[in-house]
Structure 1
């Protein structure tokens, strides 16, 4: 049985979800960001218990098919932005999302906008900018290296996009004492 879980965006999230499901007596076959496959189907009562248990960790069990698709799109974008796989990063985001979700990109784009109130492209930009903030805080890469890592055409493009969204330049952000960042599940 396949379950879709909202806000499961990192390895620690996967660990918590696995522990909770196993504590409830379920055998996990596979677990990916936003998606779990159980060995056996769960009853309505078991699904209710799973949902309640996951909510204590701010996860949400998704039953609506449209929400499941949206969560799969978000997961694909998180993978694109946060994984350090060069081949994946260089792939066109629409192609990757289409391949990952197995649906037409135009349909996904329309659905995403209707449900989330922003476009897939804006969600991608928001994810990329949070990743830029993270890398700036770590202070291990130059802005040029960050631009390359996140597949920006130039440092100028990254800087302009950063400033238009955050209201400050990357260098000003880097100098701030309080470097406010958003958790991935709140983007």
Structure 2
């Protein structure tokens, strides 16, 4: 009787170990697939677009009657996280005005399909966020797009309406953001 019980337990343990090993192999292959040049969307309703360096430059150079507010951030940056609610309030407040607020994630590509979508969903900015590979940004990118920013620190916010621009390095208060947007909307 003892042999039957022990045999049954042994078979059950081996079967569960095999299932656990299969799960581990699935996890390893899914992690490897996230490290690709252009990220795959996480889900149809939760995809985050990738911008090439050229696309980012083209976007930053748009000159028309729309106010473009572009905030460069990372999920691990405390000051970046603290200023997000101010930007979210402005998105809601100005939704019927010619204003486009965009968050540019400079996070490492290894978390583009995991942490970044989770973070943007949690903070309610998933529909306003794009990915940019910060490793590809060189001094030419910074010199041709900004007067002040050399990429050395974040958060950084760039605003453009026509030929008027504003650059802010560091966290903005709600009052600063309101003041800058109101000035550029005049």
For the aligned pair, the TM-score class normalised by the smaller chain equals under 0.3
Task: Give the TM-score of the pair, scaled to structure 1.
Answer: 0.22
Task: Give the TM-score of the pair, scaled to structure 2.
Answer: 0.22
Q: Which has the higher contact order (CA 8 A, sep 6+)?
A: 2
Relative to its length, the structure with more strand (as a share) is 2
Relative to its length, the structure with more helix (as a share) is 1
Larger radius of gyration: 2
